[in-house]
């Protein structure tokens, strides 16, 4: 990571773009190649997990737009690219979406992401204890938000018939 931080912005942007393009296309081709035989393997459960089902629904509804939008999320990107391959999304629709999404991801990561990483490394160098404490606080906040969201969706209003 230090090597990317030392690169000029344009070079870092191009390197990040290349890395994410390789990753998302590899994920797409894994999904595409494995789709036919997946149901007969021990990995068949992966196609029926909630994230994979959510990704399939996004692909069915939004197609290439879902691919682009997942580059702005955490946790759905790999699932949607895998689902796009498994759903055999045509390359004429997938590649433009992957290029646009990879460009967005690289730009966000090269600006905000690398600045955040640089700040994190500075905090760790100055005080490993403060870095660990900050990490624990952020992790606790994330857990609280997830639990609150789950409680909200689990508690549905009762349908009362009078």
Structural domain boundaries of the chain? 2-120
CA distance 48 to 8: 43
Per-residue pLDDT band for 1 (boundaries 50, 70, 90) equals: low
Token pair 């007969």 in the structure block, residue: 40
Confidence (pLDDT) at 47 = 67
CA distance 66 to 34: 21
CA distance 120 to 138: 13
The reported pTM is 0.62
CA distance 157 to 152: 10
Token readout for 109 is: 């990561």
pLDDT digit string (tens) for 64-75? 888 888 888 877
Which region among 41-45, 78-82, 107-111, 133-137 has the lowest average model confidence (pLDDT)? 41-45
**Residue 92 in contact with residue 126, Cβ under 8 Å?**
no
Q: What is the dihedral of CA 136, 141, 144, 150, to 10 degrees?
A: -120
């Amino acid at each position: 990571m230090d090597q990317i931080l030392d690169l000029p912005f344009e070079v870092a942007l191009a390197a990040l773009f290349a890395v994410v393009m390789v990753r998302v296309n590899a994920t797409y081709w894994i999904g595409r190649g494995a789709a036919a035989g997946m149901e007969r393997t021990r990995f068949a459960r992966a196609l029926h997990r909630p994230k994979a089902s959510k990704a399939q629904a996004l692909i069915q509804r939004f197609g290439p737009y879902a691919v682009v939008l997942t580059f702005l999320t955490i946790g759905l990107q790999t699932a949607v690219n895998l689902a796009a391959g498994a759903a055999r999304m045509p390359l004429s629709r997938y590649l433009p979406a992957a290029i646009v999404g990879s460009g967005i991801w690289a730009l966000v990561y090269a600006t905000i992401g690398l600045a955040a990483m640089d700040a994190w490394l500075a905090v760790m160098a100055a005080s490993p204890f403060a870095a660990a404490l900050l990490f624990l606080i952020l992790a606790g906040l994330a857990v609280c938000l997830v639990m609150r969201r789950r409680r909200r969706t689990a508690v549905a209003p009762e349908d009362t018939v009078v």
